[in-house]
Structures are given as structure tokens and as C-alpha cells.
């Protein structure tokens, strides 16, 4: 994984005319973003990133430890231990600025790149759901 060229025309992902987005190297996994975006906290670690399954938007089943895999999809493991920092890192503009994660997201059965309300972070054995403001503690991973 090598860092791709910076956009110097200012057009951004959708309006670039300088060619920076022409050769996007797709991520094989979430941790490819660490080098590609110079964020070592995205390297492999113990923090689990779970995104809501697309159908969960409609059904909104409550998040529990025992049903997490039914309502959410494990996107990957990262090194970051801060929930706020994880949320910021997992915004698409940060970890997939050129759409590098598009194939990965699709292959996981997901439909969006950015972490959103309802997604889950498991850090230090504790399950947290992303809330409109802050995070809601659900349970420890060794509890029901
Ligand atoms: Zn450009």
C-alpha cells in the first residue's frame, strides 16, 4: 500500500482534474488505511469496528453483546483506543479520501464508508454504540 498523489487542483474527489484520483489503490482491509492516510491508529489492534447491517436502518434492533453479529458487521480491528478519535478517523473523508475503501465496504455487505449513529466500537472489552451525542455503553464483551 503506497500513498497516492495529493490532489493539487483543489477539485476534490468528485471534481479533480489533476489526475490524483485516477489511480486509486483499493484497500484489502481497514488497516491499509493506516499507511495510505498516515494514521498509525488505523493499524491493526484490539479495537473492533462494527457497522450496522443495512437492514438495521429499518428494524433498529437493540444492540446487545449476544446479538451483535446479527445486527452489525465486523469491519475490522484498529489500534486506536479513543472512541472520539475512532469516530473521527472512521469518517470517509479521513480513512477513504479517494474512495479506497469502496471495494472493501461492498465486499462486507455494507453500503456506507463513514461511521454513523448506531454503529459499534468495542474497546478494551467494552461495547459502545455510537449515539447522536457521545456513545452509549452497552455491556462488556464477557457479559450477556
Ligand atoms: Zn486534483
**Structural domain includes residue 103:** yes
- Predicted confidence at residue 68, as pLDDT, reads 96
Residue 7 CA to ligand 1 centre (angstroms): 4
Residue 3 has pLDDT above 70, yes or no: no
Residue 9 domain-assigned (yes or no): no
Res 4: pLDDT: 58
Residue 125 CA to ligand 1 center (angstroms) comes to 42
Q: How far is the CA of 32 from the centre of ligand 1 (A)?
A: 22
The Cα–Cα gap between 28 and 104 comes to 6
Q: Is the pLDDT of residue 1 over 70?
A: no
Q: What's the CA-to-centroid distance between 22 and ligand 1, angstroms?
A: 9
Q: Is residue 19 one of the residues assigned to a domain?
A: no
**pLDDT for the residue 24:** 83
CA of 3 relative to ligand 1 center, distance in Å: 15
Ligand 1 mean position to 81 CA, how many Å? 33
E strand intervals along 1-144: 47-52, 72-78, 120-123, 126-130, 135-140
Find, among 141, 117, 113, the residue nearest to 130 by Cα. Answer: 117
43 CB-contact burial (10 Å; exposed 0-12 / middle 13-18 / buried 19+): middle
pLDDT for the residue numbered 2: 47
| DSSP string over 59-97 | H-PPP-TTTHHHHEEEEEEES---HHHHHHHTSHHHH-T
Look at residue 20 and tell me if it is in a domain.
no
Q: Based on the structure, what is the number of domains in the chain?
A: 1
Residue 102 lies in a domain: yes
CA of 15 to the centre of ligand 1 (A): 7
Gap between the Cα atoms of 118 and 58, Å rounded: 12
% residues pLDDT > 90 (the chain): 76
pTM of the predicted structure, to 2 decimals: 0.85
Question: Across the chain, what does the average pLDDT equal?
Answer: 92
67 within some domain:
yes
Give residue 44's domain range.
26-140
pLDDT digits (tens, 9 = 90+) for 26-81: 999 999 999 999 999 999 999 999 999 999 888 889 999 999 999 999 999 999 99
Amino acid at each position: 500500500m503506497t500513498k497516492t498523489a495529493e490532489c493539487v487542483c483543489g477539485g476534490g474527489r468528485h471534481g479533480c482534474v489533476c489526475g490524483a484520483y485516477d489511480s486509486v489503490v483499493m484497500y484489502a482491509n481497514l488497516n491499509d488505511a493506516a499507511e495510505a492516510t498516515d494514521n498509525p491508529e488505523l493499524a491493526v489492534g484490539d479495537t473492533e469496528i462494527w457497522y450496522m447491517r443495512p437492514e438495521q436502518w429499518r428494524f433498529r434492533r437493540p444492540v446487545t453483546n449476544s446479538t451483535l453479529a446479527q445486527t452489525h458487521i465486523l469491519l475490522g480491528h484498529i489500534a486506536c483506543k479513543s472512541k472520539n478519535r475512532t469516530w473521527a478517523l472512521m469518517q470517509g473523508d479521513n480513512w477513504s479520501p479517494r474512495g479506497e475503501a469502496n471495494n472493501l465496504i461492498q465486499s462486507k455487505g455494507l453500503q456506507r464508508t463513514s461511521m454513523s449513529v448506531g454503529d459499534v466500537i468495542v474497546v478494551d472489552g467494552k461495547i459502545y454504540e455510537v449515539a447522536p451525542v457521545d456513545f452509549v455503553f452497552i455491556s462488556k464483551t464477557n457479559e450477556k
